[in-house]
Amino acid sequence: MDRNEEIAEKTGRLTRMLAAEGLGGVVLVAQPNFAWLTAGGNNGIDTSREQGACALVVGADGKRFVLASRIEMARILEEELAGAEFEPVEFGWEEEKAHPTFLADLATKVVGSGVALGSDLLSGPNVKAIDGAVSRCRYQLTPPELERIGQLGRDAGEVLGAVAKSLEPGAAEREIARRMSDALAARGMRSVVTLVAADERIAKFRHPVPTGKVWERVVMLVTCARRHGLVTSLSRIVSAGGVSEDLRRRTDATARVNAQLLAATRPGAVASDLYRIVADAYAAEGFPGEEHKHHQGGAAGYRTRDWVAHPASAETVQTDQAFAWNPTVTGSKVEETCIASAEGVDVITKSPEWPQIPVRVGGREYLSPDVLAL
C-alpha cells in the first residue's frame, strides 16, 4: 500500500461516515486528523493550538481538497503533500482573519453550496461537530501505519532507555526532561508529553511536570513521543543504590495489574469491562481504589489517548488499534504502548536490555518494565 492507496482507504472510511451522518462533506483542521488522512503530513505551526495552519476537505463523493493561505500553501504542497492527491484551494490570509466562518464557508463552496458539512473543530451555521465520528475512522491502523508506529515505538523505547541508563543522582528534573526531548528530537521524534518525578514526587503527583528538584534515590521518566502524527507513550523508573522493599512490592503489583489489562485487550472488548478488570486487579493486589487516583490509559494512535477506559464507556477494542495502558500503584507505574489483535497484544515500546517483570495470565506471559537499579 503506497501513500495514495493509504489516503484512498481513509477517504473511503470518511465517505462511509458522511453517509451515515447525512453530510455532504467534512472539514479537517485538527493536527492529528491532518496527519492521519495525509499518511504522516503535518499542518502544525503553533503547537499551543490543536487547529493546524490549513484544512483538508473531503466531499461525500470522495473528492479531496486542501485549503491553505498564501502563507502556507507552497510549503504544504511541497513538503507535506508531495505526491498526494489533493486539489489545492488558496486564499488570502486576511480573508480568514476578517471572517470567523471563512474556512467553513469556503469548504461549502468547494463541495457544493447548500451542502451540510461536518468538522472536527470548525463551527458555523451549517457545520456539525463530528470529531468523535472522525476519530473512530482513525482507530484501526493500516498496514503502513502499523509499520510506522512499530518503528516509532522501537525508537522511543531505545531512546528513553538510553537516557535513563545514563542518569546519575544529582540531576534536576528539568535537565532530565531536556535530555529526553533532545535525544528524541535527534531521531525525528517530538515529546508531546514530558514528565519527570524525583523521589517523593512520584507518589505525590500522577502528572509530575518537571521542576528544578534534584533526584537522589528514585526518578521516573515519562514521554509521549510523536512522529508522522503517531504517538507512543512509555514510562521508566530508575533507582540508585538498589530497589527498596516498598518500591519492589508496588512495582510488582503494578506489573500484575498491567498483565491483566494486556490479556484483556482483545478485539471486541468493551472499555467499561476493561475498567472493571483493572479495578478488581488492584483490589486483589491489596491496593483497592487505585483506579480512582488516575486514569488507566486506553486507545492511542494520533492522540496520546483517543479514549480512556472508564465505568460508563461503550468504546470497544478494534483489531490493529494502538493502546497505551498506564496502571499505577501509588509510588510506581508501568506504561507501554501496544497493538491489539486477535492473537493478543504486541508491545512496541520495549527498551533494549531493560529489566522486565514476567507475569503469566491465561497461559501467556506478559512483560512489564521493571525498576532499573543503578
**Cell numbers of 197, please?**
518525578
Q: What is the pLDDT of residues 318-364, one digit of tens each?
A: 999 999 999 999 999 999 999 999 999 999 999 999 999 999 999 99
Identify residue 24 by its one-letter amino acid code.
Answer: G
pLDDT exceeds 90 at position 114: no
Per-residue pLDDT tens for 241-276? 999 999 999 999 999 999 999 999 999 999 999 999
CATH architecture classification, 143-373:
Alpha-Beta Complex (3.90)
Pair 348, 153: CB distance under 8 Å: yes
What is d(CA 184, CA 169) in angstroms, rounded to the nearest whole number? 22
3-state secondary structure the chain: CCHHHHHHHHHHHHHHHHHHHCCCEEEEEEHHHHHHHCCCCCCCCCCCCCEEEEEEEEECCCCEEEEEECCCHHHHHHHHCCCCCCEEEEECHHHHHHCCCHHHHHHHHHHCCCCCEEECCCCECCEEECHHHHHHHHCCCCHHHHHHHHHHHHHHHHHHHHHHHHCCCCCEHHHHHHHHHHHHHCCCCEEEEEEEEECCHHHHCCCCCCCCCECCCEEEEEEEEEECCEEEEEEEEEECCCCCHHHHHHHHHHHHHHHHHHHHCCCCCEHHHHHHHHHHHHHHCCCCCHHHCCCCEEECCCCCCCEECCCCCCCECCCCCEEEECCEECCEECCEEEECCCCCCEECCCCCCCCEEEEEECCEEEEEECCEEC
Whether residue 94 is predicted with pLDDT greater than 80 in this model: the reply is yes
The CATH code that applies to domain 3-138 is 3.40.350.10
pLDDT band with cut points at 50, 70 and 90 for residue 47: confident
Q: Place 124 in a pLDDT band, splitting at 50, 70 and 90.
A: confident
Domain limits of the chain? 3-138, 143-373
- Please tell me the number of Cα atoms within 13 Å of 99 on its side-chain side: 12
- Percentage of the chain lying above the pLDDT 90 cut: 95
pTM (global) more than 0.85: yes
Domains 3-138 and 143-373 share a fold: no
pLDDT band at 125 (very low <50, low <70, confident <90, very high): confident
